[in-house]
Amino acid sequence: MADHGMTDMLLKKVKIYEDRPLTTNHISLKQMSLILVAYLTVGTVCFSLIQDQISGTKTNKILDAVYFCVITMTAAGYGDVGPETRLAKSLACVFVFTGLALGGFVLSKVADYIVEKQEILFVKAMHMHETNGPDSPNDILKEAETNKAKYKFLTNLTLIVFLMTLGTLFLSLVEKLSYFEAFYCVCATITTLGYGDKSFSTRAGRLFAVFWILVTTVSLAQLFVYLVELWTENRRQALVHWVLNRKLTVQDLEKADLDDDKVVSAAEYVLYKLREMGKVSNEDIAVVVEGFKNLDVDHSGTLTVNDLKIIESFESQC
């Protein structure tokens, strides 16, 4: 009965931690957004001041500076605009390194946030399609959490397809490219291939490109991250399924019996299965056990308020 009660308590604790809001993600997102805005602002000011030292098709001084800053940060590098003087080239070198470092990190976090926001809607839509009716919010949240990697990948894939279609249509209608050439330019842009034979040359095109390039290049990078995550998660779930469903042997009981009392408690069984799943290691357990021994000052085998009072009294004397 004691083991059963302890197991229920552990499950309740896990549920509390799962339901705890991740406020730190929202705070960091705001901070990273400010970093991105600051980078683009500084870049725009710098490149607008040396506009005459940058070659290529010109549309609007501020817009061209933002456009140059974005294609530098994302390493799109069409070649339609480029630095000519040492000062311009030096600034480009500084901004390409800081852009790849800051921009890649910041934009990937922003993309993560956007995908997670759309993830529940994606799952809900799939549930309504499969069940011909809406499920309860708890069911949808549980499904999203269980298959998180899968839905993140599918959501990002849907976003990539939409952005590529949008870019192709825009280039064909505004930049007057054929559908094939527009699609070719889209592929060269989002992969940062940037041959330079096709690019955004009009004022409307560059205004669109400032936002579109930022989102698409990072979304594609995130797609491959999610693909690796999905593959890893599938392997992990296969291992968990095997661990939980394989036949228990006498050797398993002997390994799970940590205190050598010839019986396996619920806590010992949980620890053994967690080790098999690779969620904890013997080293992790040893560190926790050592911490427990340090706190168990009366050597009773349990932690009590009395143990904590003894420790506090000792620390106050020191």
Residue pLDDT, tens place only, 5-43: 544 544 454 444 444 444 444 446 677 778 778 888 888
Same domain, 126 and 224: yes
Burial of 101-114, coded b for 16+ CB within 10 Å and e otherwise, reads ebbbebbbbbbbbb
Asked whether residue 131 is assigned to any structural domain, the reply reads yes
Kindly tell me if the per-residue pLDDT of 307 is higher than 90: no
Same domain, 140 and 74: yes
pLDDT at 14: 45
Kindly tell me if the per-residue pLDDT of 164 is higher than 90: yes
Counting Cα atoms < 13 Å in the Cβ hemisphere of 296 gives: 11
User: What is d(CA 186, CA 297) in angstroms, rounded to the nearest whole number?
Assistant: 67
Contact 39, 73 (CB under 8 A): yes
User: Roughly how many angstroms between the first and final C-alpha of the chain, as a whole number?
Assistant: 42
pTM for this prediction = 0.59
Same domain, 67 and 214: yes
pLDDT tens readout for residues 232-281: 878 877 877 777 788 888 888 888 877 777 788 888 888 888 888 777 77
Asked whether residue 10 is assigned to any structural domain, the reply reads no
Q: For helices 2-19 and 266-277, what crossing angle results, to 10°?
A: 50
User: What is d(CA 246, CA 276) in angstroms, rounded to the nearest whole number?
Assistant: 11
The total number of structural domains in the chain stands at 3
Higher pLDDT, 300 or 9: 300
Domain that residue 199 falls in: 30-243
User: What is d(CA 3, CA 266) in angstroms, rounded to the nearest whole number?
Assistant: 6
Phi, then psi, of 55 in degrees rounded to 5: -90, 165
pLDDT tens readout for residues 74-109: 777 677 777 888 888 888 888 888 877 776 666 566
Same domain, 173 and 256: no
User: What is d(CA 56, CA 58) in angstroms, rounded to the nearest whole number?
Assistant: 6
Same domain, 74 and 183: yes
Q: Furthest-apart CA pair in the chain: how many Å?
A: 83
Lookup result for tokens 């009773």: 300
Asked whether residue 64 is assigned to any structural domain, the reply reads yes
Asked whether residue 6 is assigned to any structural domain, the reply reads no
Same domain, 179 and 312: no
In eight-state DSSP terms, residue 174 is T
* Closest C-alpha to 148, from 236, 223, 230, 218: 230
pLDDT at 18: 42
Same domain, 126 and 72: yes
Q: CATH number of the domain that 89 lies in?
A: 1.10.287.70
Mean pLDDT across the chain? 76
Phi, then psi, of 79 in degrees rounded to 5: 95, 0
Same domain, 173 and 130: yes
As a 3-state breakdown, the chain gives helix, strand, coil percent values, each rounded to 5, of: 75, 0, 20
Asked whether residue 266 is assigned to any structural domain, the reply reads yes
Asked whether residue 15 is assigned to any structural domain, the reply reads no
Same domain, 220 and 298: no
Same domain, 128 and 260: no
Same domain, 130 and 263: no
Same domain, 261 and 188: no
Asked whether residue 261 is assigned to any structural domain, the reply reads yes
Asked whether residue 226 is assigned to any structural domain, the reply reads yes
pLDDT at 111: 60
**What burial class does residue 58 get, using C-beta atoms within 10 Å of its C-beta: 0-12 exposed, 13-18 middle, 19+ buried?**
middle
